[in-house]
Amino acid sequence: MDEKKGVYKVRDIKLADAGRRQIEWAESRMPVLMALREKYSKSKPLSGYKIAGCLHVTKETAVLIETLAAAGAEVSWSGCNPLSTNDEVAAALAVGGATQIFAWYGMNVEEFYWCIDRTLDFKPNLTLDDGADLIFTVHNKYPNLAADIIGGTEETTTGVHRLRAMADDGKMMYPVIAVNDAETKWDFDNVYGTGQSTLDGIIRATSVLLAGKNVVVAGYGHCGKGVATRAKGMGANVIVTEVKATAALKATLEGMQVMPMDEAAKVGDIFITATGVKDILVGRHFDSMKDGAIFCNTGHYDCEINIPDLEERSANHRQIRTNCEEYLLSGNRRVYLLAQGRLVNLAAAEGHPSEVMDMSFANQFMSQLRLVRVDKGEEIMERGKVYDIPVEQDQEIAGVKLSTQGFKIDTLTEEQLAYSLDYAAGT
Ligand SMILES: NC(=O)c1ccc[n+]([C@@H]2O[C@H](COP(=O)([O-])OP(=O)(O)OC[C@H]3O[C@@H](n4cnc5c(N)ncnc54)[C@H](O)[C@@H]3O)[C@@H](O)[C@H]2O)c1
């Protein structure tokens, strides 16, 4: 481990060159964020602001961090999952100097929170989260810091759920913007990003053929739909499990089979949980699984697969390949857990492709600017509330993204606009 006290703690600083090449690769595929960097590196609207971030340390996140720094912010960062840090990128960030960085792949839970604590040492006035662990650490451990925090932003569905519950309970001490819920985030990153990278993680960890397999996807929300449709496109027989009737109905109309997990457990070859809810695969499911079954999770936390239940049933387990552990169950059945039940797309692959993170992180960047406007009194936000992304921001980001891809779209004529607002017009 390489450490410079108060500045970085990363796996191996010598990996920096390799990390820098990855960051440059991501930059070349993130035109929206790079255009924002170009625009705001001159006016530096984030000068004087300190941003603590807790979000997967990937090459795309590095582009976000260096964009925040280019716009004048002081930044301090940790990863938001013990198995999602790209050590090469972390080293490049440590050397690059745009941020303090405390992150390495394979840390334990105690180290995970130690890293978050270090990002709070410089007393931030803005927070940026993926899963809300940073915000919760401020509230639970360092509540005295909250008064000087203008606001925060939250990247993922589970984090937004937790924060809305906290706000409803009257416990949240500063405003948070729900970046996840932006159309240009939720409908793209979660669907296309998680869809592709989850299969990428499974393939890297197992090298199995998906065609012809029974792939069980738990949850047919944004992520689940992305995973299911991509698995189907690769020739898998996809089975969806759901608790929400409309989501299950949509799955049937997309040609998926739908059944309860108790039934799916008996026939599935590969299981992917994407619900954000705990205990999707539990003991009785492991009891009925076929020999050779593979299971993994792509939801935010590692509670969707009940690993203690699995361990309780297993005479022994051994590592077969990187991120693939075999558990021996009754009847000599061998089943395989990928990436310790943590986000398989980040732990076993590289997370979402840069192209899709471009829009998510443009939303993050613009939301941090919005919080600065709040600080300057140009917009009012109540402490303790969760705010959505403005519709105009979604359209702006999508418009820039389209133009960088060389696409143009039509504009409503004045007559069309008037017609669309005219409630009296009929046949
Ligand atoms: N892997 C990644 O990189 C990545 C990216 C984005 C989001 N996420 C995480 O993925 C999870 C899902 O996010 P989303 O945006 O798809 O949420 P979503 O709300 O759009 O969908 C979740 C779906 O799961 C269903 N569900 C809930 N409990 C269930 C149960 N017991 N059995 C079956 N289905 C159930 C819900 O009805 C819903 O349709 C969250 O934890 C989110 O934070 C992960």
Query: Which positions ≥6 away from 167 have C-beta within 8 Å?
Result: 176, 384, 385, 386
The per-residue pLDDT for 25 is 98
* Number of helices followed by number of strands (H, E) in the chain: 19, 17
Q: Is 384 helix (H, G, I), strand (E, B) or coil?
A: coil
Ligand 1 centre to CA of 215 (Å) is 17
Atom of ligand 1 nearest to the CA of 276: 41
**What is the Cα–Cα distance from 269 to 118, expressed in whole angstroms?**
42
Diameter of the chain by CA atoms? 73
Residue 328 pLDDT more than 90?
yes
- The pLDDT score that the predictor gives to residue 425 is 84
Domain ranges in the chain with CATH number 3.40.50.1480: 2-181+352-404
* 217 Cα: distance to centroid of ligand 1 (angstroms): 11
Give the C-alpha separation, 59 to 385, whole Å: 31
Residue to mutate (ligand 1; options 156, 161, 196, 278; most atoms within 8 A of CB): 156
- For the chain, give the mean pLDDT: 97
Find the residues whose C-beta lies inside 6 A of ligand 1: 156-158, 190, 194, 218-224, 241-244, 247, 274-277, 280, 298-300, 343, 345-346
For domain 194-342, give the CATH number: 3.40.50.720
Residue 56 has pLDDT above 90, yes or no: yes
pLDDT digits (tens, 9 = 90+) for 248-291: 999 999 999 999 999 999 999 999 999 999 999 999 999 999 99
Please report the pLDDT score of residue 305 as a whole number.
98
Q: Residue 167's pLDDT is what?
A: 97
- Say which residues have a Cβ less than 8 Å from residue 104's Cβ, sequence separation at least 6: 1, 9, 10, 11, 85, 87, 90
Task: Indicate whether 236 pLDDT > 90.
Answer: yes
Distance 219 CA to ligand 1 centre (A): 6
State pLDDT tens for residues 104-157.
999 999 999 999 999 999 999 999 999 999 999 999 999 999 999 999 999 999
Residue located nearest, by CA, to atom 21 of ligand 1: 221
Q: Please, which pLDDT band fits residue 426 given cuts at 50, 70 and 90?
A: confident
Protein residue with least CA distance to atom 33, ligand 1: 242
d(CA 66, CA 40): 12
Res. 427 pLDDT band, cuts 50 70 90: confident
Q: Whose CA is nearest to atom 25 of ligand 1?
A: 219
CATH 3.40.50.720 domain position(s) in the chain = 194-342
% of the chain exceeding 70 in pLDDT: 100
Q: Atom 1 of ligand 1 has which residue's CA nearest to it?
A: 298
Question: Alpha carbon 273 to chain centroid distance?
Answer: 15
Alpha helices of 254-353 — where are they, by DSSP H?
261-267, 283-288, 307-313, 344-347
**Which of helix, strand or coil describes residue 105?**
coil
Q: Is the separation of the CB atoms in 177 and 367 below 8 Å?
A: yes
Confidence of residue 315 (pLDDT cuts 50, 70, 90): confident
Q: How far is the CA of 8 from the centre of ligand 1 (A)?
A: 33
Nearest to 145 by CA among 92, 212, 76, 219: 76
Task: Answer whether 0.85 is exceeded by the pTM.
Answer: yes
Report the separation in Å between the CA atom of 222 and the middle of ligand 1, taken as the mean of its atom positions: 7
Q: Which atom belonging to ligand 1 lies closest to the Cα atom of 190?
A: 6
Residue 275: Cβ within 10 Å count: 23
CA distance 120 to 153: 16
For the domain bounded by 2-181+352-404, which CATH number is listed? 3.40.50.1480
Q: Are 181 and 235 in contact (CB under 8 A)?
A: no
Output the CA 62–ligand 1 centroid distance in Å: 26
pLDDT of residue 22: 98
413 dihedral zone (left: phi>0; alpha: psi -120 to 50; beta): beta
Q: Of all atoms in ligand 1, which is nearest to the CA of residue 277?
A: 28
